[in-house]
Structure 1
Amino acid sequence: MTELLANGLSQIRRALHQIPELALQEFQTHDFLLNEVRQFNQELLTIHEIPDLPTGLLVRVAGSAPKRTIGYRADIDALPVEEETGLEFKSQYKHTMHACGHDLHMTVALGILNHFAEHQPVDNIVFFFQPAEESENGGKLAYEQGVFTDEWHLDEIYALHDTPDYAAGNLACRPGVLFAGTTEVDIKLIGKSGHAGFPHEANDMVVAASNLVVQLQTIVSRNVDPTEGGVFTIGQLQAGHIRNVIAGEAELHGTVRGFSQEMIMLIRKRIDEVCKGIELAFDCQVEVEMRQGGYLPVVNNPATTDRFINFMQQNYPDTFQISKPAMTGEDFGYLLSKIPGTMFWLGVGDTSQLHSSTFNPDEKALEPAVQKITAFLEYRMKEEN
Structure 2
Amino acid sequence: MALAKTELQDIYQQLHQIPEIGMEEYETQAKLLEIIQHLPQDHLEIKTWKTGILVHLTGANPTYTIGYRTDIDGLPVAEKTGLVFSSQHPGRMHACGHDIHMSVALGVLSRLAESRPPVSVTFIFQPAEENASGGKQLFESGVLGKWQPDEIYALHVDPTLPAGTIGCREGTLFAGTCEIHAKFRGKSGHAAFPHDANDMVVCGANFVSSIQTIVSRRIDPIKSGVVTLGHFNAGTTGNVIAGECQIDGTIRALTQDVNLKIQNEVRRIAEGTAATFNCDLELDLHQGGYLPVVNDPRTTPEFIDFVKNSDYDYQEMPPAMTGEDFGFMLSKIPGTMCWLGVDSPYSLHSDRMVPDTSAIMAGVGVFAAYLQEKARQVSHSGKQD
Over 3 Å counting, the alpha-carbon distance change for 1:219 and 1:3 in structure 2 is closer
Taking structure 1 as the reference length, what is the TM-score of the superposition?
0.96
Matches of 2:29 and 2:330, distance apart in 1: 24
Matches of 1:24 and 1:277, distance apart in 2: 37
Taking structure 2 as the reference length, what is the TM-score of the superposition?
0.96
Matches of 2:100 and 2:3, distance apart in 1: 17
Note the alpha carbon deviations across 1:17-64, whole angstroms, 9 max, x for none. Answer: 0000000000000000000011111111111122xx2x1101111212
**Counterpart position of 1:330:** 324
1:346 correspondence with 2:340: yes
Name the SS of the counterpart of 1:161 in structure 2.
strand
- How far did 1:65 drift? 3.2
Name the SS of the counterpart of 2:95 in structure 1.
coil
**Counterpart position of 1:374:** 368
Over 3 Å counting, the alpha-carbon distance change for 1:119 and 1:351 in structure 2 is farther
Q: Which runs of 5 or more residues in structure 1 are unaligned?
A: none
- How far did 1:379 drift? 1.4
Q: What pairs up with 1:251-290 in 2 under 5 angstroms?
A: 251-290=246-285
Moved more, 274-283 or 83-92: 274-283
Matches of 1:3 and 1:247, distance apart in 2: 62
Matches of 2:61 and 2:160, distance apart in 1: 39
Alpha carbons 2:2, 2:110 under 8 Å: kept:
no
1:189 correspondence with 2:188: no
Alpha carbons 2:3, 2:107 under 8 Å: kept:
no
Alpha carbons 1:82, 1:97 under 8 Å: kept:
yes
Moved more, 161-170 or 61-70: 61-70
- How far did 1:310 drift? 1.2
What percent identity do the matched residue pairs reach?
48
1:57 correspondence with 2:56: no
Over 3 Å counting, the alpha-carbon distance change for 1:3 and 1:66 in structure 2 is closer
Q: What pairs up with 1:144-163 in 2 under 5 angstroms?
A: 144-150=140-146, 152-163=147-158
**Counterpart position of 1:132:** 128
**Counterpart position of 1:219:** 214
Match of 1:119 among 90, 115, 122: 115
- How far did 1:279 drift? 2.0
**Counterpart position of 1:17:** 16
Q: What pairs up with 1:284-323 in 2 under 5 angstroms?
A: 284-316=279-311, 319-323=313-317
Matches of 2:215 and 2:5, distance apart in 1: 49
Q: Which runs of 5 or more residues in structure 2 are unaligned?
A: none
Q: Which runs of 4+ in 1 moved over 6 A?
A: none
- How far did 1:277 drift? 1.7
Residue 313 of structure 1 aligns to which amino acid in structure 2? K
Residue 321 of structure 1 aligns to which amino acid in structure 2? Q
- How far did 1:349 drift? 1.1
Alpha carbons 1:299, 1:336 under 8 Å: kept:
yes
Matches of 1:8 and 1:320, distance apart in 2: 26
The Cα RMSD (Å) is 1.2
Name the SS of the counterpart of 1:118 in structure 2.
coil
- How far did 1:3 drift? 5.8
- How far did 1:286 drift? 2.2
Matches of 1:138 and 1:340, distance apart in 2: 18
Match of 1:174 among 152, 169, 174: 169
Residue 324 of structure 2 aligns to which amino acid in structure 1? E
Matches of 2:111 and 2:85, distance apart in 1: 26
Matches of 2:369 and 2:163, distance apart in 1: 18
Name the SS of the counterpart of 2:340 in structure 1.
strand
Alpha carbons 1:183, 1:295 under 8 Å: kept:
yes
- How far did 1:7 drift? 2.8
